[in-house]
Structure 1
């Protein structure tokens, strides 16, 4: 008994496969999926990467975009759809069916590939999508230098995962996103440092490139938050096999509430005047008052104390298994409400 507009909002929030199948439940619903805001995720089509299946996926995606009369909400194109099919990919992004697109995900490559052997990804037409696009997720590809000229004034979330991008393009893209609230840089390469100066970013998540991937020519070595008056969540994280490290420097983030996970992946951590650094130390293992063994390990400790960070309410620490290391951090965060501690590996 629900009106079509309500049914359309329900269908567009379902996975693509389920939304399409909904048409068989009632004759009155035959038109609902086609007329509802488009939610097309090509992962429901994937299986073997045979030539016949690739052609089938290309035909299906093209058909959906050609016959869908409603506006678009979400589009995700994966490896089989984009890799080696740049002509079809560019044609899709110029389809009138994508007018009003809000969420775009492009993942043309596979993880653990040497991105130096992958041609640059053709970029979407910015003028058409800039009016409505709010979320952009790009993975496993190479962004050309022309990405620095992109401008998405309404973009709220930008996520780059396993992307090779130059330093100029990396800083140029967020600069053209005037409403950007969340920035994710996950295992990205092609640049040595990241400088964040933004009046809108509230969440920043960064990780260094996976140590099992083919080593790129340039890797991230330093992240500097120079001026982020609205930044609340700063999340440097690592993947299980990541062995590389980088420096993290926070110059000005007066609203920072969550920090972590802090681990040995961060070789040097500067929070204003306070400096933490990974150093080698000797640990005595004592049992019944006697030293039974000794161990040399790397631990992050404060080497210089400055002003305390009273805005931070939540702190996450990794690679910590002794209370004196935790206490070393607590001196800098007197107003903590939540503390997460993991012994790590």
Structure 2
């Protein structure tokens, strides 16, 4: 199915005072604990900064999301670290920079990494908590889904003349030295999801991703696997002409990227079983700017930002509620199309099991 959517070393100086009146922002579990949203804004303004991490501007419209937050809350400066990093990098930064003003305040994590680091997360429930489906969030508020896409193949149509129709097509001679994924699957959820897709397309399942590892071993043996982490720039230059990644990212790197994109870069969701994976929002339990972190989550789950996710081709967690409440951008939804009803998403247990297998088998398969 072809897709055509519209676009998505610190110091140890003490952090800002994290309390607002008698409220300790680090332990606040809702805006009501501050006295209401306006009091949360006041506390966040007092802190004056927010640290985000691994949020590329072209990923799920994060460039516009960050810009919108700073416009709405001009007294808060966003510090965006390591935009091309992985979920594992987020966790490493939180641990290495604990107690420093540079530590991440908030996370956007893949499920496998999230489940291995639940002790790093602070419970917090946004004002429209009820709009997030119960199976899309932790009951105590430690994490909540934010958006999903479908795993897809992006290809430079000036180089690859015929769109791939199945994963096995990527083993052909036309793809020699051309197929890239977003980093190390043992570290990055998006790269791991490329392996999961290959497994689903090669006789495996969410409970058995070994066929996906085997596929990439064959891709390596054929000389088709390109050991370069792709970026929008490498796609624009032609260095990485084929990329397996989330649909909203492939789309953002094509014509939707404007002058920074590659007008010849097309996106295909392969026929057969589709793979999706919601990412998870969470607050660092040791956030140096805890009020701003909580205000960020309120911003993320506002209809304004959920519509920005949608405009990038990423389906937001509150979409069903937004349709019912008539807060969804109907023009964008009509362009993007309804959210997929049936796709495979690994459960927390499946993702943990898959991550263990990848850690044990990936290096030998593609080494």
Q: One fold, TM greater than 0.5?
A: no
TM-score by length of 1: 0.24
Larger radius of gyration: 1
Greater RCO (Cα-Cα under 8 Å, separation 6 or more): 2
Bigger helix fraction: 2
